[in-house]
Structure 1
Amino acid sequence: MPQHVTDTTQLQCDKGTTLTTITVTSQSFMSIDGKLQATEDDKQPNVNIKPFGVCSILRSSCTPSPVKWNNASDFEIEGKKELLDICTCRCSVGGKISVVKSVQNFVEE
């Protein structure tokens, strides 16, 4: 079952060298375990999504250039679809951004 994406969920770009986290700024009242839920509007470069290290396409800083989140939930928060851990976002440079693990899935063993 898909999980909700919340603030600080880890993201990866298949063309980058490091992971980053999402910063939720699209809404300020819906949260899970004290972390704001992400929506399809959380895609601003260097605001919501930080660089992913070095880009294998550009051979320089992997600054995200997100186009649109796909596979978002039908549930909306203030008219914006909420993100789930099955969502991906195409980068205009050529990469694909995806969720590594939603915070809800972190389990210490």
Structure 2
Amino acid sequence: MPQQVTMGAMLQCSFGVAPSTLVVLPLNRVLCEGPPAANIMDHIPLVNIMPFGMCSSPANPEVAAATAAALGVPTPMPCVPATVTPWAPGAVNVLLGNQPSLDNVSTCSCMWGGAVTIVDPATVKTQVP
């Protein structure tokens, strides 16, 4: 059964080299096992989703330029998340701040082709139906 995601959840990008943590601002005023609970709109780069170390996506212009400068040798560059769409699908039957709550089976897409997944939801007991 899916689990509710809260601040401090561990995230991973398919093109990132390191995990990151989710930051949830206390806008919805809903706490879950202590920290603020997340909804699908908690996808803003450098506000909710922090960098994943280095990015290796060839679609990322920084990586493409560095790879071209290295004569075609794939060259990762620092990650700057580019998540422009909300998490999907979310828990459609549980609303937080008039948006579906974020569960651990949701994913978020990066503009450079990466898939951001939730490795650890930071909750243990709270499940969403």
Partner SS state of residue 69, structure 1: coil
Moved over 3 A (4+): none
5+ residue gaps in structure 1? none
Are 2:29 and 1:29 aligned? yes
**CA RMSD, Structure 1 to Structure 2 (Å):** 1.3
Partner SS state of residue 11, structure 1: strand
Q: How far apart are the structure 1 equivalents of 2:123 and 2:86?
A: 23
| Equivalent residue pairs, number | 105
5+ residue gaps in structure 2? 58-62, 64-75, 125-129
Tell me the residue number matched to 2:10.
10
Q: Quick one: which of 78, 81, 90 aligns to 1:72?
A: 90
TM-score, normalised to structure 1's length?
0.90
Residue 27 (structure 1) shift: 2.6
8 A contact 1:14–1:95 mirrored in 2: yes
Per-residue CA deviation, residues 22-47 of structure 1 (Å, 9 max, x unaligned), is: 00026341111111111111111111
Q: Higher RCO, 1 or 2 (CA under 8 Å, sep at least 6)?
A: 2
Partner SS state of residue 89, structure 1: strand
Larger radius of gyration, structure 1 or 2?
A: 2
